[in-house]
Structure 1
Amino acid sequence: MVESVTVEQMVKKVRMKVLQGEKYLQRPIVTADISRPALEFAGYFTKYPAERIQLLGITETSFAKDLTAEHRREYMTKMCTPRTPCFVISTDLPIPVELKKAAADAHIPILGTHQTSSRAISNMTNYLTRRLADRQSIHGELIDINGIGVLITGDSGVGKSETALELVRRGHRLVADDRVEVYALDEQTLVGQAPAILNHLMEIRGIGIIDVMTLYGTAAIMPSDSIDFIVHLETWTPDAQFDRLGDRGDHREIQGVVVPQVSIPVKTGRNLAIIIESAAMNFRAETMGYDATETFDRNLNSLIRKNSERDTKKKHEQ
């Protein structure tokens, strides 16, 4: 699922000025790529990316000034297509006269910013990448545990919501309950958020819908968070095999991003909130270079070596 973005929405988030065409801010933006028309001012339109935002900075406007008025009218008219969402003028530069008329005739808004072209592109790209990214809906809970985004998954009825609620009571923050909308920010970063209809709400069997923000305050929720770690809850059975030493290196791939994962057995009497909290802290320790499994292995090897030396010494004494 891809969300749509209008020019008006981007203007509010990126804080740009509308220089012309306020009536046409509902034009859709369909890609996060930004174009700086250079070849177009040289008359090359064979591969013109008309669906992109067209940004004119110092370089583009200076080059356009060297053209004849006739060429400027021709090229800027060609740049104004039905698919073009808007034009952006950076560095508080004046709008070329020919662009003013062509954009007005084509009902395309012109935006302005005091920022440099590079900064303006960065701000627009960051916002549009988040809004236009492909989204995947995952059944689970997303909780921020001391700065670590933990996605809790498992079969329906295994206790995910109740565990998430206990984590909130312990001071951690809810991002999403029951359904998490996930998208890849880049090749290494996953971001999750709640669907708009479920923002800061939880469903607890036997109680119904509760508003976490109303009950626990604004500090108990987050609008979105990265997904750094996955905890999968599984119903315990006597024949099930679970990791005892934490050395399996399990993971799950979501939208091309590999996320570390652990599986935790659910059994009567286990405090899942404390276990998940500890798993998150252990994950943080590992990312900082400390591995408890390696420490255990070193201690075990040291004990084996000492016992071997002791046995050898006894044999020599005999």
Structure 2
Amino acid sequence: MTVIGHDAEVATFHEALLSGRLHHAWLLTGPEGVGKGTFARAAALWMLARAAGPEPVGGGFTVDPAHRIAHLFDAGSHPDFKLLRRLPKDKSEELARSITIDQVRTLQPMFATSPSLSPRRVVLIDAVDDLERGGANALLKNLEEPPTGTIFLLVSHAPGRLLPTIRSRCRLLRFSPLAEENSARVLRAALPESDAGEIAALAAIAEGAPGQAIRFAGLDIDGLDRAIDRIAREGDATGLQRLALAKQLSGKAAQARYEAFLERAPGRIAQSAREGGDIEAKVALWSQARSIADGAVRLSMDQQTTVYEVAGLLAKLAG
């Protein structure tokens, strides 16, 4: 498990642990998709392996995959590690809206005993923003009276939404967007079957958050962006470009590209607004496009009609 592009954050964590002043709770903040969750899992494994022995060798959070603790961790059966995240609804792939208070309560039996394999125990919540109110209050009690040897790693994309009392109990570690070359390294590791052209295109649209760009793999986002950009720059007086794009993005097989279009098109309008011109008019276009995009999938709106309408808003950028 390799942490890419966050050397300063790794060094900060190392220094805190090796100095003997490791805070019991860390709030890992920054944009979604920059690698906070990967950092947290790697840090958790490294701490558990180091505490149980033999001590990992190498820089960063390097742990030999053959290490006995790595085997338990990768199998999800380490008794001193607990991961809380949103669970699938029923038997579907759709995730629940929140991390429930019942999930937080599952920590109590673990806290009632000493750690099993070493003096160290780690609880990772990804993301703590997803805690329902009752769960947040239950977690706060644990942060106020932390069990001996327990380290809490709390991933947050929007720390301003958290209870101030939770934030005040944590040491803050901020993560910035990655440089494009580091985004490309993350994407190459995550998508080994993708060619260099796709990796470059995904790294460019990632804007420093490769975790967000991974879901676009295999969708020819570069080609989709070119079609969006052409309509935005040249307009579409005949409507033929919009019609062709609407046909391409309709049907069950095109669902993923259709949803990508709904996300990319408003972003192209926002980009135009940042470049200047009639900013008030462009913001109004962006608001319309965002409103349509937000409701399109949820309301099962007709795909062709939706694409044609949003592309029409893009065309207005060309005057």
Q: TM above 0.5, one fold?
A: no
The answer to which structure, 1 or 2, has the higher relative contact order (CA under 8 A, 6+ apart) is 2
Q: Over alpha carbons, which structure has the higher Rg?
A: 1
Higher strand fraction (1 or 2): 1
Structure showing the higher helix proportion among its residues: 2
Q: TM-score if structure 2 supplies the norm length?
A: 0.28
